Homo-oligomer: A and B are copies of this chain.
Amino acid sequence: MKLEEMMKNDSPGHRIYIPVSKAEMSTTGLTTPPFTTLTISRPANGITHVELCVPEKDNELITAFWSEMVDCFKQIAEDSECRVVVFSGAGKLFTSGFDFMDVAIDLLQPVGEDTARISWGFRQIIVKYQEAFSVMEKCPKPVIVAVHGACTGGGGMDLITACDIRLCSQDAWFQVKDVDFGLVADLGTLQRLPKVIGSRSLVNELALTGRKMYADEAKSCGLVSRVFPDKETMMAGALEMAGEIASRSPVAVQGTKINLIFSRDHSVEDGLKHMASWNMSMLQTKDLMKSAQAAKEKKSLKDVVFSKF
């Protein structure tokens, strides 16, 4: 079943956390059976909520997770009803990452006739796993991640650093756990964390010692941009922020995300050049006039209807 169909298929058991307002409340959000690790809902128009949902295993990133992420975000990328994504975890903590014991056992029983062939096999697995997080970056809709409890294990930091905006509750803590297991974190943390927070000394300390970082330090170092007292207010805050984004022109929002990511990996001059080639057409949108009109009339952008993008 396609994501779009799932969403339309409403039912009493649907999961809607905190609709921003009645008017925006969507009837389409519901738990979709096809994904075993992700629950998809539409808490309000334009907002897709992806919930990591393996609570009985502390949201471990089990085998199914890696391919479901790719499927899920490819569909979200093409779902013109979705303008912004909120990603959170079900249960008592955000994620415990993948199970190193499982991984260790796999790694010690490698398939392949010699080291070159075993390595080649590992490389394909690493690349595939990296994609499970990069797919959020390639999706042009912004992803707000809301973290409560633990964000740890192999994969926890990799996951959240691939999101666009990070929020957390006061009880959250973060850990680059890989080093504790004899592993170099290979799913994005070492690449993205230094571009996500400003202090390189802190990045190195976290990655080399595996120590925990709590909510307040996460806020002051810039890993998260807001801390909320508890999960409930965080989810409300995340959805409110998502609502703000969803109410704005999708031409503006998605173009902003794409160009911010392009700029991260290029010089300022290259970024400006790409920006000009991008906007020479994107400026020709009716959203501009609609937005300007709303501003003139002191109307909320939530009352403006932008076409699908």
Contacts and interface: CB of A to CB of B under 8 A. Distances in A.
A229 to B, nearest CB: 19
A204 B288 contact: no
Chain A contact patch, size range: 35 or more
Given A113-B307, A116-B284, A179-B249, A195 B200 contact: yes
Interface in A272-304: 272-292, 295-296, 301
B291 A181 contact: yes
Nearest to A262: B273
Interface stretch (A5-13, A42-50, A56-64, A184-192): A184-192
Interface in A245-292: 245, 248-249, 251-253, 255-257, 259-260, 262-292
Contacts of A96: none
A203 interface: yes
Nearest to A110: B284
A309 B208 CA distance: 16
Interface stretch (A18-26, A27-35, A67-75, A119-127): A119-127
Interface in A65-100: 100
A305 to B, nearest CB: 11
A304 to B, nearest CB: 9
A211 B119 CA distance: 28
A285 B120 CA distance: 11
Interface of A: 100-101, 103-104, 107-108, 110, 113-120, 122-123, 126-127, 130, 134, 137, 142, 164-166, 178-186, 188, 190-192, 194-205, 207-211, 220-226, 241, 244-245, 248-249, 251-253, 255-257, 259-260, 262-292, 295-296, 301, 306-309
